[in-house]
Structure 1
Amino acid sequence: MNGHPVIGRLATAILVIALLRFAQSIFVPLAFSLFVIALVWPVQSALQRWMPKLLALLITLSITISAIVVMGSLTAWGFSKLAQWLFLNAARFQAVYTEWVDWLEGHGIAIVGPVTDRFNVTWLIGFVQGIAGRVNGFAGFALLVFVFVMLGLLEVDDFNMRLRRPAAQPLGEKMLRANHEIGAKLRRFMVVRSFASVLTGFVVWGFALLAGLELAAAWGALAFVLNYIPFLGPLIATMFPTVFAIAQFESWQMAVIVFVGLNIIQFIIGSYLEPLLAGASLKISPFAVIFAVFFWSYLWGLAGAFIGVPILIAFIVYCAQDPSSRWLAVLLSGGTADNLGSET
């Protein structure tokens, strides 16, 4: 009998995950809109003290749209440049690839055979072009997010008032505290992540120029954008230039230099500088971060990889509100109970 509640909770969790998976066309824009609202609400709140609410909303939405357009344009431009370079240098790339395959097969590495059957330069060009096309074609997704954000910003004040009503207590006050803390943590997270991403982009651009790597500006732009996706983003931003260095320089030594150099950049900024700036209140277990990125990317694709850590932050804050789940918040935070629920 004691196992029935556990089984029931497990079944509920499985059903919720299945719902999030199959209804992602609604839940992904909703999650993104809540994330954006948490980020830009202080701007909306400050502006509407000095001007009409609708005018403040227009200015806030204009700033938000501009940021989204810049990010999307940089991503599409970077991958488009890579696709063009691949198309123009396909013969050289294929020759180097074939030479490496022959060398590996000559040394008895049998795993290369199946890889050769499925991988070629044409496939790589199509893959890069597909990414660029997806970024260019996210207009429908962005429109739905825009509608959700617009309606959500108009309702934040009213929603907070409803949470303060006696009929909503004591959960209303708990939700208010949690929402306030989540907003503060997400804004700090994005400020630190944005600073680290800009710095990573410029340093990668400078390193690519110094190494003589073609498309240095594109590598810098992609490093900037991809750094917003923990673990997976820096990995892609490191592997792509390394693969291209093999074709450009036709030398494994130069490819190793590029690979090591980019990893040193990612390690210093991502593993030392960024945690130092984030502070104790944003400390999260590295295992939890990796799990969140892969779990949400499985459910929602690239969008899930981006939004996974913000969702994890919100989950930790809500778990910390209740004594029965506070232990889970402590485990996931990578810290102690002392730094939960406090901003440092």
Structure 2
Amino acid sequence: MMADRVSSVAVCLIAAVAIFTALYLSSAVFQPLAFALFIIANVWPLQSRLQANLPKLLALAIVILITVVVFIAFASLVAWGFGRVGRSFINDAARFQLLYEQMAAWLEGHGIVLARLWSEHFNVGWLVRAAQGITGRVNTTMSFWLVVLVYVILGLLEVGGIKRKIGAMQNRDAARVLIAGTVATAAKLRRYMAVRTLMSLMTGVLVWGAATLMGLPLAPEWGVIAFVLNYIPFIGPFIATMFPTLFALIQFPTWQAALVLFGSLNIIQFVVGSYIEPRLAGSLLAVSPFVVLFAVFFWTFLWGLGGAFIGVPITIALLTYCAQHPASRWLADLLGAPDEEEDAKAPR
């Protein structure tokens, strides 16, 4: 009996390693598919309501048009905010270099030997090149989103047919898990996106206000950056806090003013992320913070910047499907708080 269990665990581990290796090596195929499924989960209710009163293709055209308009507006906002801040960093490169040399000299004067080692591998030129690289990456993702759009169109056309095929499966237990899991996952992803968007807007407005009150240049741009980066848990808020603080060090006359800005931004991130958001999301989206952090880093490793955004939705989807079957429910109970009302309604 013990040998069989060990063999089963070994097989599961080997299968998991093989799957994630395939996802890593085939990111160009699976990453746009993951984004497309996420978008379909969010826009399907609109598509369903429209096609109840309009021809299916007309309803699809309206949904795709709305999706494209929203995407273009979001992309334009991102390009505007990051572009202006990036150009400002490049223009002030000499001042950043001077600030860096002063900090390195201060650290060495206090016996921190890492400062010299750091200076051999890092300078402001590296920071400028990184900013340029991010800007260039943003400007070269059009082909990726075109593939996502094709997947979304085809997926919306196939939703009804796939549901009928699953309903006709002879394995009724598998059909129940697929249908219940898909419906629950789609609802949770819509709730996740709604809560995340509302919290991102709140964070962006508060950061904009704090930067304006402190007299920090480019306050609207810092608000936009905070809004965008808040979609990436943990990493995004950290970056949205550090970069304005770094910029403030060369703009404010004293480092104490920059420290006050740093504290204000952290208070905003803490209150919104740790107090308001959990109360809005409720137990429906409750996932262990450890699991969220692991998901962000793991999917960032697999798929880069896109993985940082889509990692948490993928984790929510996996845990939701696990909750639909008794054999895997323990994993959902362990890593994410179970939804008691949904569990009571789910057929056994």
Q: TM tier, shorter chain?
A: over 0.9
* Offset, 1:341: 4.0
The match for 1:43 is 46
The match for 2:340 is 338
- Is the 1:47–1:56 Cα contact (8 Å) retained in structure 2? yes
The match for 1:58 is 61
The separation in 2 between residues aligned to 1:164 and 1:268, in whole angstroms, is 45
* Offset, 1:113: 1.4
* Offset, 1:70: 2.0
Q: Does 1:167 align with 2:206?
A: no
* Offset, 1:244: 0.8
The match for 1:33 is 36
Query: Aligned residues, how many?
Result: 342
Q: Does 1:195 align with 2:198?
A: yes
Q: What are the superposed Cα offsets for residues 58-114 of structure 1, whole Å, 9 maximum, x if unpaired?
A: 110111112222222222222211221122222222111111111111111111112
Q: How does 1:173-212 map to 2 (within 5 A)?
A: 173-212=176-215
The separation in 2 between residues aligned to 1:305 and 1:166, in whole angstroms, is 35
Normalising to structure 1: TM-score of the pair? 0.96
Q: Which moved more, 1:21-30 or 1:246-255?
A: 246-255
- Is the 2:284–2:339 Cα contact (8 Å) retained in structure 1? no
Amino acid at match of 2:11: G
- Is the 2:297–2:308 Cα contact (8 Å) retained in structure 1? yes
* Offset, 1:251: 2.7
* Offset, 1:250: 5.0
- Is the 1:245–1:255 Cα contact (8 Å) retained in structure 2? yes
Structure 2: segments with no counterpart, 5+ residues: none
The separation in 2 between residues aligned to 1:340 and 1:60, in whole angstroms, is 29
The separation in 2 between residues aligned to 1:212 and 1:166, in whole angstroms, is 63
* Offset, 1:168: 4.7
Q: How does 1:225-304 map to 2 (within 5 A)?
A: 225-304=228-307
- Is the 1:72–1:136 Cα contact (8 Å) retained in structure 2? no
* Offset, 1:143: 0.3
Segments of 4+ moved more than 6 angstroms: none
The separation in 1 between residues aligned to 2:12 and 2:281, in whole angstroms, is 34
Q: What are the superposed Cα offsets for residues 228-271 of structure 1, whole Å, 9 maximum, x if unpaired?
A: 11111111101111111112125321221111100000111111
The separation in 1 between residues aligned to 2:81 and 2:186, in whole angstroms, is 31
* Offset, 1:279: 1.3
* Offset, 1:340: 5.6
The separation in 1 between residues aligned to 2:309 and 2:290, in whole angstroms, is 16
Of 69, 74, 99, the match for 2:72: 69
Amino acid at match of 1:218: E
